[in-house]
Structure 1
Amino acid sequence: MRQLFSVPVPCSAMKRRNLISPLVLLSGLFFVIFMISCGKDGDAGPIGPEGPVGPKGDPGAGSSEVFYSDWLDVPFKPDTIHTAGGSIDTVGYFASIRATKLTVDMLGKSDVKVYINTGSAADPTILTIPYFSNSGLYISMQAYKDTISMYSNADVSTTVVKGTKVQQFRYMIIPGNTKANAANKVNWTDYSAAKAYLKLND
């Protein structure tokens, strides 16, 4: 018959065994609390200083700048034909204005306006071209690449009358998006309205 023997356990070992379980639990509790506190977002810090201003970008494709000329001296030349009798008749007058902003692209999406000041700079009387009067006078215009041409049944060249220059011309090139944006603000056929919109001095 097998005998059972009991081995005495020292009292200090029993105390250590009893202390292990609470220490493990306490360590686990601290670990959980630490992980929760690390996962929580803190309060936002103060706003940092504003960064330096970046370089100015290039104008976009929808740029809406209106191009306009100074008041120009424009000479008209006679448009003549040779008659059967050998004489030369003048049937009209033509002129052209150099306009380098009139590219092929601009022609396809812009509006071109031409104005004539039949008076002087000090006392202007400004008309929009094309112009047709009750007396029969007419001035027409057409726009081409780099050029604005005009035709009239009278010589409306820039000239000097009693020391005062009269009949000067100005053109404006208005991109399509500008005209649309300003549709409720300005009538481009009215020079006074266009002048006020563009804040022109003359």
Structure 2
Amino acid sequence: MKKTLLKNLIVLIAVGVTLGGCKKEAGPVGPEGPKGEAGAKGEQGAPGTANVIYSDWIPLPAKAVFSSPMRKNFSIQAPEVTLDVIKKGLFYAYLRHGSSEESIVPLPYAGTWVNTTTNEVIGSYLSTVLVGVGSISLNQDWLTPGAIPATFANATAVSGGYTHIRYVIVPAGLKSSSTARVDFKNYESVKKVYFEK
């Protein structure tokens, strides 16, 4: 009886191994099912500003709030400038002559002072921007040692013929890849990414 059970067990194992090792042929591929309906189209996203804030062209004040022979200071309201922007964000500013898009310079900017009678360069000045909560200040400082020309020393308007300022704020927390393609020293690069739609 034990021999019969043992033989039956061996036969069952042999049959199982044989059947388990057999490969089955795949059947033919069935027909393609019907195409599902398309989902609703999403709304067009905003142009790729990546949360960057930019001002309009702001007219520069006609008169400095502080004026000394070596420094002129012009105050401009900038409500988007917050303490968080000052501590963690990035701030860029540009000056423009009148309405010309061809005469835009990034700040800081070093300008030359020319004697209008002789066309001789007699010195230079530096235009910079200081950032405070809710406002910015355009500063113009005389750089050249020695006598300061009376036309700069007594001036109360912005030097260099600049009439407008624009600023761009990159808030904290943006991935670097969102601003990596922008050369903020080149206004045309900034314009192409943020202002043109």
Give the alignment's TM-score, normalised by structure 2: 0.55
Structure with greater Cα Rg: 1
1:191 aligns with 2:187: yes
Please list, as runs of the form range in 1=range in 2, the aligned pairs for 1:91-170 lying within 5 A after superposition.
Answer: 91-117=70-96, 119-122=97-100, 124-134=102-112, 135-153=123-141, 154=152, 155-157=156-158, 167-170=163-166
Please say if residues 126 and 140 of structure 2, whose CA atoms lie closer than 8 Å, have aligned partners that are also in contact.
yes
How far 1:152 moved relative to its partner? 0.7
- Stretches of structure 2 lacking an aligned partner (at least 5 in a row): 1-32, 43-48, 113-122, 142-151
- Provide the rounded CA distance (Å) in 1 between the counterparts of 2:195 and 2:60: 24
Paired position in structure 1 for 2:5: none
Which structure exhibits the higher relative contact order, with contacts defined as CA atoms closer than 8 Å and separated by 6 or more residues?
A: 2
Q: Secondary structure at the match of 1:90?
A: coil
How far 1:168 moved relative to its partner? 1.0
1:68 aligns with 2:54: yes
Q: 1:136 corresponds to which letter in structure 2?
A: S
Relative to structure 1, the CA distance from residue 129 to residue 156 in structure 2 (aligned partners, 3 Å threshold; closer, same or farther) is farther
Q: Secondary structure at the match of 1:194?
A: helix
How far 1:170 moved relative to its partner? 0.8
How far 1:106 moved relative to its partner? 2.2
- Provide the rounded CA distance (Å) in 1 between the counterparts of 2:133 and 2:110: 25
Paired position in structure 1 for 2:116: none
Kindly provide the CA deviation profile for residues 110-160 of structure 1, in whole angstroms up to 9, marking residues without a partner as x: 11111101x33145301111112354121111111111112113555399x
Paired position in structure 2 for 1:174: 170
- Provide the rounded CA distance (Å) in 2 between the counterparts of 1:123 and 1:48: 51
Runs of 4+ off more than 4 Å: 45-54
Relative to structure 1, the CA distance from residue 123 to residue 49 in structure 2 (aligned partners, 3 Å threshold; closer, same or farther) is closer
- Provide the rounded CA distance (Å) in 2 between the counterparts of 1:51 and 1:90: 68
- Provide the rounded CA distance (Å) in 1 between the counterparts of 2:128 and 2:176: 22
- Size of the aligned set, in residue pairs, is 141
What is the identity percentage for the equivalent residue pairs of Structure 1 and Structure 2?
23
